Structure 1
Amino acid sequence: MFKRLPYLICLLLILGSCQENSAISQEKEIEVSKDEPANDVVESPEPDTEETSFILPEIDLSNWKVTLPIGRPDEVKPPEILEYATNEKLKPFMYNDSIDGALVFYTYPGATTANSSRSRTELREQMEPGSNSVNWTFSQGGRLKGTLAMDDISKDSDNKYHRTIIMQIHGRLTNEQRDLIGQKDNNAPPMLKIYWQNGKVRVKTKVLKNPDVSDTDILRTDEWTDDEGFNFNEEVGFNRFSLEVLVSDGRMEVILNDTESVVYESDDIEKWGVFENYFKAGNYLQTSDEGSYARVKYYDLQVEH
């Protein structure tokens, strides 16, 4: 019995050591399992948030044609103008800035219209798409509103910016009026011209040279002349701004940024009611200097009658 005692003691020690190691091993396994995820889920990488967004201008061209500084000059009418983004003739002069969300009108000295010595990339309202014959009178009324900005414009030899017309109300003779005064076309004077000039907005209208002009002679362009003009106080520079033109019987109002306005309610406006009219908007550069140019951006443009 005593001879076997050392052997039994060794056996007990070995068994105790194995149990202790097994307990430690189980404890370690439990500790590891706490650090591991409960399910075998593979996390997806974060999505790429740096996506380029494109913004289109809010302008419906269904009732506008555009005149270009090329050709005789060239024009693009509805419905072709609706595809301006892919029209090879239009693309150099009228195109989207899809980062800024604007329609760009670019022009330089080139082809001119019959009654002008200046070039333009300018929209002309067509109440009946494709036709110049359907227009409106002041008694019928109208509203034109746009958000725009001067993007870039050249300077003259005195280092002063050139100027450009950005909105107009243009007169038009009916066929009967044209024939009455023996004129070869339907052209009448522009009642309203709005300029971007040295970073400010300037308004010019027409007044009669002779307030007692006859009902026939009032139709003649040379019976009208420019007024002294009006400058808004705010300097818009190259920043975005809004312009609104409101027309009613014997009244015309121009509003800048919904804060400043100028109202015309003179006898000249009253007598202007004899003419038909149409709105214009865009970039009508007022210089023929070599190397001159202008780029005007329109973000939105609405017309109502």
Structure 2
Amino acid sequence: MISNRKGILIGIVLLFLSVNATSQEKKSSVSESGLKTNKSKKRKKKVKLPEIDLSNWKVTIPAGSGKGGAISVALPEILDYATNETLKPYMYNDSTKGAISFYAYPTAATTANTKYSRSELREQMVPGNDNVNWTFKQGGTLKAKLSVDEVSRDKKGKYHKVIILQIHGRLTNDQKDLIQQKDNNAPPVLKIYWQNGKIRVKTKKLKYANVSAIGILHEEAWTDDDGFNFEQEVGFGKFQIEIKVTDGKMVVSLNKTEFAVYDDFNMKRWGVYENYFKAGNYFQSRDEGSFAKVSFYELQVKH
């Protein structure tokens, strides 16, 4: 009887030791699993590259010297922007966002007709050729998803303005010769601003409705309209803009919910010009220490 009790006691002890060992193994396993989980959390975020076709764009950056000294880079060099040492400070991949970022600040290198710096794309329907453009009759659509990531403030605490999209007018060579102008530059019919977290649209209107066919070619024939402010506040988040141009009409939409429509006689008479799209960071300040960063996630153009 005593022997049997000893056997039972020994069995209980062995069972306890077995359960305890199993418990320790489980704790060890959980601990190891926890370490693996922590290690996985420390892995770097996946690199995302933007899917934007730059074949029909050139970029202008404020990297040259003096007024009119801004540098432009077109196809094929623009395709290697990520490794181009000249472009990298102004146009580069933000691989955490999956976007192309455009950085600008005041420099001495501006384009010929402005005092402001730009890191901005210019549409080229034929790569490398500025002389092939489109008219309102031919039409065009631009779709962009972008964000304004960083902007400096002025002395009053307001953010500096940035032009993020444009439609720029252009004289043909014949028109340039007709009015004896030194270059092909014509006014921009559309400027889209990021201004204190909101989107503002400005376009052109004629000073005199009955201006002649030759007089209308002069920049002095046009003036700015009063502008249009979208109600939505985009802040520093992503937003979508679509610009659609048809014969005598231009429509700008924000996030597919608000629309600015221009279809009066000014748009009809604008048909005299050729045009091209612009996209990027045309920074509107000369304040010391000022800057802006604009990122594009999507950019598409159709004609």
Deviation track 1:184-206 (CA, whole Å, cap 9, x = no partner) reads 10000000000000110000000
Which residue number in structure 2 is paired with residue 5 of structure 1? none
Contact 2:163 2:284 in 1 (8 A): yes
TM-score under structure 2 length normalisation: 0.86
Q: Which of the numbers 258, 262, 271 marks the counterpart of 2:256?
A: 258
Return the letter of the residue paired with 2:47.
F
- Determine the C-alpha separation between the residues in 1 that align with 2:237 and 2:226: 26
Question: Where does 1:267-282 land on structure 2 (aligned, <5 Å)?
Answer: 267-282=265-280
Which residue number in structure 2 is paired with residue 108 of structure 1? 105
Which residue number in structure 1 is paired with residue 47 of structure 2? 54
Matched residue count: 286
Stretches of 4+ aligned residues off by more than 4 angstroms: 43-49
Give the secondary structure class of the aligned counterpart of 1:115: coil
Which residue number in structure 2 is paired with residue 6 of structure 1? none
Which residue number in structure 1 is paired with residue 71 of structure 2? 74
Q: Which of the numbers 157, 160, 176 marks the counterpart of 1:159?
A: 157
Which residue number in structure 2 is paired with residue 213 of structure 1? 211
Deviation track 1:222-271 (CA, whole Å, cap 9, x = no partner) reads 11000000000001111110111000001100000111011100100000
Question: Where does 1:117-196 land on structure 2 (aligned, <5 Å)?
Answer: 117-196=115-194
Deviation track 1:69-114 (CA, whole Å, cap 9, x = no partner) reads 1211111111100000100000000111101111110001111111
Which residue number in structure 1 is paired with residue 296 of structure 2? 298
Contact 2:116 2:282 in 1 (8 A): yes
Contact 2:148 2:237 in 1 (8 A): yes
Which residue number in structure 2 is paired with residue 95 of structure 1? 92
Return the letter of the residue paired with 2:55.
S
Q: What percent of counterpart residues are identical? A: 60
Return the letter of the residue paired with 2:71.
D
Q: Which has the larger radius of gyration?
A: 1
Give the secondary structure class of the aligned counterpart of 1:59: coil
Gaps of 5+ in 1: 1-16, 37-42
Which residue number in structure 2 is paired with residue 65 of structure 1? 58
Deviation track 1:4-37 (CA, whole Å, cap 9, x = no partner) reads xxxxxxxxxxxxx9xxx9xx9xxx9xxx9xx99x
- Determine the C-alpha separation between the residues in 2 that align with 1:78 and 1:98: 22
- Determine the C-alpha separation between the residues in 2 that align with 1:275 and 1:193: 16
- Determine the C-alpha separation between the residues in 1 that align with 2:45 and 2:157: 38
Distance apart, 1:157 and its partner CA: 0.9
Deviation track 1:154-187 (CA, whole Å, cap 9, x = no partner) reads 1111111110100000000000000000001000
Give the secondary structure class of the aligned counterpart of 2:82: helix
Distance apart, 1:52 and its partner CA: 2.7
Contact 2:243 2:250 in 1 (8 A): yes
- Determine the C-alpha separation between the residues in 2 that align with 1:99 and 1:289: 30
- Determine the C-alpha separation between the residues in 1 that align with 2:164 and 2:189: 14
Provide closer, same or farther for how the CA distance between residues 285 and 51 of structure 1 changes in structure 2, counting only shifts above 3 A. Answer: closer
Contact 2:48 2:96 in 1 (8 A): yes
Deviation track 1:127-155 (CA, whole Å, cap 9, x = no partner) reads 10111011000110100111111111111
Distance apart, 1:51 and its partner CA: 4.8
Return the letter of the residue paired with 2:143.
K
Task: Tell me the C-alpha RMSD between the 2 structures.
Answer: 2.8
- Determine the C-alpha separation between the residues in 2 that align with 1:52 and 1:292: 31
Which residue number in structure 1 is paired with residue 26 of structure 2? none
Which residue number in structure 2 is paired with residue 13 of structure 1? none
Gaps of 5+ in 2: 23-28
